[in-house]
Structure 1
Amino acid sequence: MEIEPQKPSAKNPAAQFAGDVWLDVVAAPHTDDQRMTVAIVKFAPGARTAWHSHARGQYLRVTQGVARFGDRAGNIIEVHPGQTIYTPPGEEHFHAASGGTFMEHIAMLENGDDPAETTTWLDHITDNEYDGV
């Protein structure tokens, strides 16, 4: 057994996020046969991801604030602390904080067969997509 070394919070890149979003890694693979990645992700009010999908899907557990999750069909789901949302493999979606509050979630996913293809990043969402109009 070992205690994992604490890594500093990292600000997520503007190419994949709009607004201020920080990431704290909780767990990452140590060996090639491990796939699990877990992170705490903190969003400033109104901050959001770009459209993206995951090779093996993703679970997100909201721990603070109000989260907005959207899909390409225009569906917007608000998720509150204590709720978990699942996005299946290949589903294009975004995550965001509602406009008036910080939001934090725990992201849990498995790396793809090629770890570089775990997440496919796409275009930024528009304000209308964020608003669900």
Structure 2
Amino acid sequence: MKDREDQIFESGEKNDAFAQYFVGQSYLNMLTTSPVGVANVTFEPSCRNNWHIHHKGGQILLVTAGKGYYQEWGKPAQELHPGDVVNIPPEVKHWHGAAKDSWFSHLAIEVPADGASNEWCEALSDEEYNAL
């Protein structure tokens, strides 16, 4: 069942397996796992993931609902809206998540590569997030 009218895909279950890498509540619905991992990730308002790096494979985000942000280390944050596409090259430290006043959903596509991995880093500080 869809949680909100503007959702294209179901939100799935609370993202408890990765909760330590998020500030706030997120939900995960794996749409495919093979040959390419595609997940619908839904963020409650103000929820965001920690800074992280995709080694070797990279990631593609397809925004499907709400308003959110994407930011690469050392660059200003970009506001995201449905229809936006973010192509994240390998080895780029970044975070993404919901705006303070909006739910946010995107499809996260794992770009396949031999030896691909994900490195979770520090949380985006409340001070940095609240300055958006």
- AA aligned to 2:26 is V
Q: Equivalents in 2 of 1:128, 1:70: separation in Å? A: 15
Q: Equivalents in 2 of 1:126, 1:11: separation in Å? A: 21
Higher-Rg structure is 1
User: Contact (CA 8 Å) 1:50, 1:121: kept in 2 or not?
Assistant: yes
What percentage of residue pairs aligned between the two structures are identical?
Answer: 29
Number of residues of Structure 1 aligned to a counterpart in Structure 2: 119
User: Contact (CA 8 Å) 2:68, 2:102: kept in 1 or not?
Assistant: no
- AA aligned to 2:96 is H
Give, in angstroms, the shift of residue 113 of structure 1.
2.4
Structural RMSD (CA): 1.7
Q: Equivalents in 1 of 2:95, 2:77: separation in Å? A: 10
- AA aligned to 1:122 is C
Where does the alignment leave 5 or more consecutive residues of structure 2 unmatched? 1-11
Q: Which residue number in structure 1 is paired with residue 63 of structure 2?
A: 62
Q: Which residue number in structure 2 is paired with residue 84 of structure 1?
A: 85
Q: TM-score, normalised by structure 1?
A: 0.81
Q: Which residue number in structure 2 is paired with residue 4 of structure 1?
A: none
Give, in angstroms, the shift of residue 111 of structure 1.
4.3
Q: TM-score, normalised by structure 2?
A: 0.81
Residues 111-132 of structure 1, C-alpha deviations (whole Å, 9 max, x = no match): 4423xx5211111110233245
